[in-house]
Amino acid sequence: MRYKYFLLPAILCLLSCGTIFAQEKKDPYLDITAATGPEYDWLKPLAGNYEVEMRIWPKAGADPIPLGTFRVTRKFIGNFLQEIMEPLPGTKTDPFSRITYLSFNKINLRWEYIVMDTRFPVMMFETSFDGKIVNGKELTTYLSSFPVPALVGKEAAGQMAKQRRTFTIVGPDQDEMRQYWTLPSGKEYLAIAYVYKRISH
């Protein structure tokens, strides 16, 4: 019976030492990915509430068509900038939700952008070639292939296209996002543009 009085403290000691060891033994990749570098000096100011004007170009050389003004909320979920876009209350726009995540991958040293839009229910994953922010104002992501949505018109709908997307800081309370498409039969052209204007932080 007396052994149990010695065994219990020994077990508690082992558990305590194991816990301390587990706490000290960290995965170095977690430290790398969790740290925010200078890239986030560009990204962090984008959090806030916005009104967004959207325009589309049905084809190269066409006049732009306004699709309305929407509301956007941007906030950080960990190191990811989450953006939720929805119609403004009281407007006649059909209900939709566009959710995106933008972050800088410290392992691959590139920007990564995920789009989920109920108007076009195909998840899109885009990446940059590197981590550069041109002139401290603009980054670019690329998508090698995607089906053109009917949202921009029936002429190009369903074709497989390439995309170049730019995110540009215009001022402290305004930024723009542009989507340039290249169809199999043509040259690159501006297809979609969003203009974000901040209404609150």
The single-letter DSSP state of residue 95 is: P
Q: Is there a single domain that holds both residue 24 and residue 46? A: no
Q: What is the pLDDT of residues 7-27, one digit of tens each?
A: 555 544 544 555 444 455 566
The reported pTM is 0.82
Q: Is there a single domain that holds both residue 24 and residue 41? A: no
The confidence score (pLDDT) of residue 27 equals 67
Q: Is there a single domain that holds both residue 55 and residue 13? A: no
Q: Is there a single domain that holds both residue 85 and residue 139? A: yes
Q: How many residues does the chain have?
A: 201
Instruction: For residue 169, name the pLDDT band (cuts at 50, 70, 90).
Output: very high
Mean pLDDT of 26-47: 79
Q: Helix count (H) and strand count (E) of the chain?
A: 3, 10
The confidence score (pLDDT) of residue 36 equals 74
Q: Is there a single domain that holds both residue 73 and residue 25? A: no
Q: Is there a single domain that holds both residue 116 and residue 146? A: yes
Q: Is there a single domain that holds both residue 10 and residue 102? A: no
Alpha-carbon distance of 177 to 166, in angstroms, equals 6
Alpha-carbon distance of 118 to 54, in angstroms, equals 16
Residue 15: which domain range? 2-32
Helix (H) / strand (E) containing 21 = helix 2-24
The confidence score (pLDDT) of residue 26 equals 63
The confidence score (pLDDT) of residue 145 equals 94
SS3 118: coil
CATH number reported for the structural domain that contains residue 129 in this entry: 2.40.128.20
The confidence score (pLDDT) of residue 154 equals 75
Q: What is the pLDDT of residues 41-95, one digit of tens each?
A: 999 999 999 999 999 998 888 999 999 999 999 999 999 999 999 999 988 889 9
Q: Is there a single domain that holds both residue 77 and residue 135? A: yes
The Cα angle at residue 175 between residues 171 and 178, in degrees rounded to 5: 140
